[in-house]
Amino acid sequence: MVIKGIKPIGMKERIVSDASKKYSKPITAVSVLIPVVVAILFTVRLPNVAPLDFLPPIYSSINALTALILVIAYVAIRQKKIKLHEKLMKTAIALSIVFLVMYVAYHMTSDPTPFGGEGVVKYIYYFILISHIILSIGIIPMVLITYVRAISKRFADHKKISVITFPIWLYIAITGVVVYLMISPYY
């Protein structure tokens, strides 16, 4: 029976719906678990472990490299170099994971570094820092959904979300470097 104005679900729509259902719970779980675990780990200080003071310039460089790779991946897809784009995006995801592990390790072994700037610079720093942190939490499901749509070969849907995901992820990577450069004199 067909209800007027409602068309029955075709095979393609069922496949898309099945893929969405298959990944929706893991994406939700990962998107919630990562920020919660990171927040919990920030309260942990490892006793009798030397501070990993050498990590901030390394993970800041990883952010810079991630930003560069995102731009190159964007150019690659615009030039229809799909395999290159795919490899670059997987690299960007891997670098983001490495960054997060190093960032958490640093904060588990070191006390927070207060920003010493004053005046307008202080407000600029905190605006960049807060927007960076908030967006870095929100980008997790966006990257995962964008990635799942690509590996599910749902390229029209992938493109729809990637035009939002890309600039936010790029902003996060760039502001990570900016935050490091602004606070580095106070380490």
4 versus 165: the higher-pLDDT residue is 165
pTM of structure = 0.86
**DSSP state string for 109-153:** HSPPPPP---THHHHHHHHHHHHHHHHHHHHHHHHHHHHHHHHTT
Output the six-digit token pair for 39.
């927040």
pLDDT, one tens digit per residue, over 56-67 is 999 999 999 999
Give the distance from CA 156 to its chain's centroid: 21
**DSSP state string for 44-89:** ---TT----TTHHHHHHHHHHHHHHHHHHHHHHHHTT-HHHHHHHH
Predicted local distance difference test score (pLDDT) of residue 112: 86
Predicted local distance difference test score (pLDDT) of residue 131: 98
Question: Can you list the domains of the chain with their CATH numbers?
Answer: 16-45+52-186 (1.20.120)
